[in-house]
Amino acid sequence: MKLTTADEMRTIDRVTSERFGVHSLGLMENAGIAVASFVRAQFPSATRITVVCGKGNNGGDGFVAARRLHHSGKVVEVVILCDPAELKGDAANMFGRLPFRPIVIRSEQELKNETDRSLGSADLILDAILGTGFRAPVTGLYAAAIEAVNAAIAPVVAVDIPSGAAADSFTLQTGLLARADAIVTFTAPRPAHIFGGLTRGPVIVAPIGSPDEAIVSALNLQVVTARRVAPLLAPRALDANKGRFGHVLVAGGSLGKAGAASMAALGALRAGAGLVTVATPRSIVGTVASFAPEIMTEPLAETHANSIALDSFAHFEGLAKGKTVLAIGPGVSRDLDTAQFVRTAVAKCTAPIVLDADGLNAFDGNAQLLNGKSRTIVLTPHPGEMARLTGKTIEQVQKDRIGICRSFAAAHQCIVVLKGHRTIIASPSPDDATWVNPTGNPGMATGGTGDILTGLIAGMIAQFPSDPMAAVTAAVYLHGLSGDIGSDVVGEQPLIATDLLKFLPEAMSRTREWSREKLLRLC
């Protein structure tokens, strides 16, 4: 799903009306219907609903939702933050269709007098005060209304965007903005919906009548959704066998870091790879094998530090022949001899490669050796590793995550997965869209989650080697969604990496389910 700016969305709405014959009133009606449908489905026990509306089109969407909820049997109050004579265009039209009298608030004092009764008694609040056309700062009556909404106990559903949010911002939002327990936006998301941290609840995108041809954006950014991932989770053929789903070879592990290679292997298996082998230093083969009986192992010559030795490359090269994908790096350590092994493997092995952790660090100062022109190479750096690869500071990377990810992917002909809040996935082709992942949470900031991701990516590529971008985006999405489910079940602080494997089946199930819903859930 495309990401668009607020100005682009206004153009999309205009083009939808002018070229495709969908009247703006129809778009507003459909938007309000979508909000009302979401409320009825997700908050069925909410019988008293207060809709707080501004004087713009966002308020117009709120008027429609209020009317529709009223007709469905809900007890609805509309609080309008202006004199009705100030309403214009479609918003004025929809206001005139309200089947009941609204509460008109013209001053902060009137708002204060009304707040306890209307907002205090509500089971649910709809925030339709300010939309994506808002320009900071919020002042006066609207600011007071946002504060009143935030002070209320009832859950809040934002219509289009939480009031006070800067729609085109790619950073976490601060300042005065309405809280939101869910967001229902329309046609396509804006940057703040993905990057702004506007809610910990669902972000829903509702189609309201704009055809795909009208949805045009210069951002060249796509959001990974369940609909993109679900085709890779389709039922398998009845005569399937493990040979159809690829063989992953993991090169990883060292003394004290056997778990990293094992978690990568388990991630590949849980992703659906047919077979997984871990090539690891001879002295830790038993430790790796003990993690799960499904993991096959191959011993490699080791350094004095019990890491993979360069002398083992000939053996490893033989193992790599016939393998579908290689995952190199989890737990290999930063030993100089091991780093040379990694660089040699990347240069000489012809299978697709997923490179992570100290596998990436082996190219610190040698990034020019990374080139995926002749076969698929996937890099999965966190900001610190990206900084080392590019010679920049972490702060510079974080300030331009999308640009740096794109430029490095194009320069080195690799797929780059820049991990972090809203992981970025860039294609080797600068003309291709860059993908943004909407799943994941701070509970995943714990050791080993990156190793699980490496395995998931390798396991998905093993099954879908002809479309590595689809495989990578699916793995990243499922990884984050597993973390979200785990956070809901055990909490952010107790979450550990192997919990992601436990909740991966549920993540796959939800992905299939969400892909069939009319309203598209981003997270």
More confident site: 135 or 281 = 281
Q: Which backbone phi and psi does 66 adopt, to 5 degrees?
A: -60, -45
Residue pair 107/38 in contact by the 8 Å Cβ criterion? no
Residues 378 and 461 placed together within one structural domain of the fold: yes
Kindly report, residue by residue over 61-82, the tens digit of the pLDDT: 999 999 999 999 999 999 999 9
| Cα angle value 437/383/205 (rounded, 5°) | 15
Kindly report, residue by residue over 427-454, the tens digit of the pLDDT: 999 899 999 999 999 999 999 999 999 9
Q: Which of 442, 464, 480 is the last residue of a domain?
A: 480
Residues 244 and 215 placed together within one structural domain of the fold: no
Predicted pLDDT of residue 134: 83
Q: Which of 170, 192, 219 is the last residue of a domain?
A: 219
According to DSSP, residue 302 is labeled: B
In a domain, 407, yes or no: yes
Answer whether residue 136 shows pLDDT above 90: no
Residues 285 and 431 placed together within one structural domain of the fold: yes
pTM of the model: 0.96
Kindly report, residue by residue over 199-256, the tens digit of the pLDDT: 999 999 999 999 999 999 999 999 999 999 999 999 999 999 999 999 999 999 999 9
Q: Which backbone phi and psi does 73 adopt, to 5 degrees?
A: 105, 5
- In this prediction, residue 117 has a pLDDT band, given cuts at 50, 70 and 90, of confident
Residues 199 and 284 placed together within one structural domain of the fold: no
CB atoms within 10 A of CB 173: 16
Section 396-409 average pLDDT: 98
In a domain, 457, yes or no: yes
% of the chain surpassing 70 pLDDT:
100
Section 414-431 average pLDDT: 96
In a domain, 263, yes or no: yes
In a domain, 232, yes or no: no
- In this prediction, residue 135 has a pLDDT band, given cuts at 50, 70 and 90, of confident
Amino acid at 503: F
What 3-state class would DSSP assign to 323?
coil
According to DSSP, residue 121 is labeled: T
Residue 156 CB-density burial (10 A; 0-12 exposed, 13-18 middle, 19+ buried): buried
Q: How far is 158 from 167, CA to CA, in rounded Å?
A: 13
Answer whether residue 23 shows pLDDT above 80: yes
In a domain, 518, yes or no: no
29 is in which domain, residue-wise?
6-219
Q: How far is 47 from 74, CA to CA, in rounded Å?
A: 5
Residues 256 and 326 placed together within one structural domain of the fold: yes
According to DSSP, residue 80 is labeled: E
In a domain, 138, yes or no: yes
- In this prediction, residue 113 has a pLDDT band, given cuts at 50, 70 and 90, of confident
User: What does the H/E/C string look like for 28-40?
Assistant: HHHHHHHHHHHHH
Residues 41 and 166 placed together within one structural domain of the fold: yes
Residues 39 and 167 placed together within one structural domain of the fold: yes
In a domain, 312, yes or no: yes
Residues 93 and 21 placed together within one structural domain of the fold: yes
Residues 175 and 305 placed together within one structural domain of the fold: no
Predicted pLDDT of residue 114: 81
- Most distant CA pair in the chain: distance in Å? 82
Q: What is the CATH classification number for the domain harbouring 173?
A: 3.40.50.10260
Q: Indicate the number of domains in the chain.
A: 2
Q: What is the CATH classification number for the domain harbouring 291?
A: 3.40.1190.20
Answer whether residue 156 shows pLDDT above 80: yes
- In this prediction, residue 116 has a pLDDT band, given cuts at 50, 70 and 90, of confident
Residues 208 and 332 placed together within one structural domain of the fold: no
% of the chain surpassing 90 pLDDT:
97
Section 297-313 average pLDDT: 98
Predicted pLDDT of residue 133: 84
Predicted pLDDT of residue 412: 97
Answer whether residue 308 shows pLDDT above 80: yes
Residues 205 and 271 placed together within one structural domain of the fold: no
Choose among 456, 432, 95: nearest CA to 250: 456
Answer whether residue 112 shows pLDDT above 90: no
Q: Which of 155, 189, 219 is the last residue of a domain?
A: 219
Q: How far is 58 from 47, CA to CA, in rounded Å?
A: 23
In a domain, 504, yes or no: no
The mean pLDDT of the chain is: 97
Residue 45 CB-density burial (10 A; 0-12 exposed, 13-18 middle, 19+ buried): exposed
Residues 15 and 49 placed together within one structural domain of the fold: yes
